[in-house]
Amino acid sequence: MSGTDFDVVVVGAGPAGSAAAIEVARAGRSVCLLERGPSPGSKNMYGGVVYGRILDTLVPAWWEQAPVERWVTRRSTMLISGDQALTVDFRNPGWGEAPHNGATAYRPEFDSWLAGVAVDAGAELVCSTTATGLIREAGQVVGVRTDRPNGDLRASVVVACDGVNSFLAKEAGMYPHDDPSNFTVGVKETIALPRHVIDERFAVRGDEGVDIEILGCTGDVPGGGFVYTNRSTVAVGLVLSLPALAAGGTRPEEILRLLKAHPAIAPLIEGGEVVEYSAHVIPEAGYDMMPELVGDGILVAGDAAAMCLAAGIWLEGVNFAIGSGALAGRTAALAARRGDASAAGLAGYRSSLESSFVLSDHRRLRDAPHLVMSDLAQRVLPAVACGVVEDVFTVTNPTPKPGMRRIVRQRLRRHGVRLRDLFREGLRALRTFG
């Protein structure tokens, strides 16, 4: 590949990279999609739900092609305190019909499919190849070096989609800070169960699936948990504060073991066989940790740009990766056609992101990760909520039933929370999510 020239080189064949390559190829420009794994998605350690709405214009009727496990028709939020659990459960059978809302998928299959769409559009996919650095001329990025002999790839624009804590963005000087508190670590077990058992335990049928998000299940380490269904496996996992995990000395496997043993979770996975364990780092802080997105000859998209929305009730990443990747691809193709890949020539990428859901959602919810990881949300809220519900439904005969106001005040007092503090945090949450 020595001296090989392309209009655009996209590094990383995840959802962001493949979306970028699709747009570049469809614009009639040459594009190389570089992937360090033996196939797209083979290095992915993802645990979550794919929200495919952004694919509607990129891959029409994508739901007829994409390798989906189940369509999420049941979404639950669970608060755990000790052995107790309080769940808000929402069902919408309409989400099981086209054009759908969210889906569970095995990312190696999903990523390979989307990269295949890029190849069909005209992109050149090169796997088992790592970008080891940037090629610069007169201060401008003009390509990447790879770990292949004579493997330099030259291009008008490099789109860095090389994952969380992007090596290329750092080399380009686009990450001004590297605060460990901005990151979490995700751990996940995939547990095999017969499909009919999953259907019975989660009360779903056919291709219907369930996504359960959990708060209060991580002990002294701020974070959260999740359970979601595939066809014949159930994924159970955690997202944990990286600094707190390191400081506390608790192994994530132990916290996950405790979650799996909880009375609200254990019956769902009983008798299952663990077929996979994986872990990966997540850019938790979203908008507040994003790097510079545009440089001379380089754009940054997806997880490399910290475009992961960890906002409590909204836990999304793939849709932001696809959205940012597609806009990066359009910008890169236009810059290559105009012959101007300077930062000024690529500036349209930032403005496109600002006017799209990608940055507007991240900016509006920029305080949500900090709010969700606060002590009040992590420990006090689950304990108070579970306690209040326990008191409401406990029959106290012959003692008369206490009033709701008294129940709430007693539970708040027990956890050292004043009403005005709760009101203040409620206003903060309203400003964040409103």
What is 33-92 written as a DSSP string? EE-SSSSTTTT----S-EE-TTHHHHSTTGGGTS--SEEEEEEEEEEEETTEEEEEEEE-
Cα 133–136–140 angle (5° rounding)? 125
Cα gap 111→52, rounded to integer Å: 13
Taking residues 186-196, report their average pLDDT: 96
pLDDT above 50 for 1: no
pLDDT more than 70, % of the chain: 97
> Is the separation of the CB atoms in 298 and 11 below 8 Å?
no
Query: Looking at the predicted structure, is the pLDDT value of residue 352 above 50?
Result: yes
Report how far residue 122's alpha carbon sits from residue 387's, in angstroms, rounded to the nearest whole number. Answer: 59
Contact call for residues 40 and 21 (beta carbons, < 8 A): no
pLDDT higher than 50, residue 2: no
Residue 3's SS3 state is coil
Q: What is the spatial distance between Cα 189 and Cα 236, in angstroms, rounded to a whole number?
A: 5
CA 291 → CA 26, 211, 396, distances in Å? 28, 31, 57
Of residues 242 and 73, the one with the higher pLDDT is 73
Cβ 181 vs Cβ 33: under 8 Å: no
- What three-state secondary structure class fits 233? strand
Spatial contact of 19 and 325, defined as CB atoms under 8 Å apart: yes
Q: What's the average model confidence in pLDDT over 389-408?
A: 92
Tens of pLDDT, residues 266-285: 999 999 999 999 888 888 88
Per-residue pLDDT tens digits for 76-96: 999 999 999 999 999 999 999
Q: Which domains does the chain have, with CATH numbers?
A: 4-67+105-177+289-355 (3.50.50.60), 181-283 (3.30.9.90), 370-433 (no CATH)
List pLDDT tens digits, range 294-338: 999 999 999 999 998 887 677 889 999 999 999 999 999 999 999
Question: 240 in helix, strand or coil?
Answer: strand
Q: Which of helix, strand or coil describes residue 145?
A: strand
Averaged pLDDT of the chain = 92
